[in-house]
Amino acid sequence: MDFIFMFTRHDQTVEDCLDVFEAIRPAGVTHLGFKDVGVDYSTLERLHRAIKENGATSYMEVVSTTPEAVLNSARVARRLGVDRLMGGTDVAGVKEILKGTNIAYLPFPGRPVGHPTKLGGSPGEVEEQCRRFLDQGCAGVDLLAYRATEAEPLELIRAARRGLGKKGLLIVAGSIDSPERIRAVAEAGTDAFTIGSAAFDGSFSPRKGLLANQLRDILRACG
């Protein structure tokens, strides 16, 4: 299972993300991401360039809440040339913007609302959506399992895994903050997970002070 470190806190890219990148480089994380809010495009461009020059896979997660804003975010992802774009629900619109690129798209299943995002929807809805997203040419999904308001998180993960089968990439994002939770999402069928705030806040390893050491502990928990 892959660990994706997000340069984000409270659903926004941190203003000093470039300094953070230099600080965490020794930790050896090979999947790195950010969100399209919190800093300007120039900063995102510099951060993305640093990620790719470091040989890592790059991710951008959409947190826009209106249909047009989601499409604008997809245009930013295309302009940056990220490896994987996560989030949003307008699959047809986003896929049209990404046409001709190698960017893998992973939309939100369920019913995401608000910012910070909460997730509505039942396991059955999530499973059916995952099947449909694959049929529409998506690489997988970005599941906000631990922000669910109508279902148990692990049940949503298992449902998404059923819907995606063996070929779809299942990323679980948000509120993963302990080795026990990492083990639980892995056993439920997750391929990758994101952590941002729990590392910045030091809540994953409360007795470690350096962010790079938080990330090392997270990588160890992946086994």
Provide the 10 A C-beta neighbour count for residue 30.
Answer: 14
- Tell me the pTM: 0.95
Q: How far apart are CA 196 and CA 176, in angstroms?
A: 9
CB within 8 A of 123, min separation 6: which ones? Answer: 151, 155, 156, 158, 159
Provide the 10 A C-beta neighbour count for residue 219.
Answer: 16
pLDDT tens digits for range 117-132 = 789 999 999 999 999 9
State residue 223's pLDDT score: 81
Nearest to 140 by CA among 188, 215, 178, 85: 85
Query: What residues in the chain have per-residue pLDDT under 50?
Result: none
pLDDT tens digits for range 52-90 = 999 999 999 998 778 898 999 999 999 999 999 999 999
Provide the 10 A C-beta neighbour count for residue 55.
Answer: 7
Extract the tokens encoding 187. Answer: 């056993």
State residue 174's pLDDT score: 84
State residue 64's pLDDT score: 78
Extract the tokens encoding 89. Answer: 């629900």
Domain 2-222 sits in CATH 1.10.1040.10: no
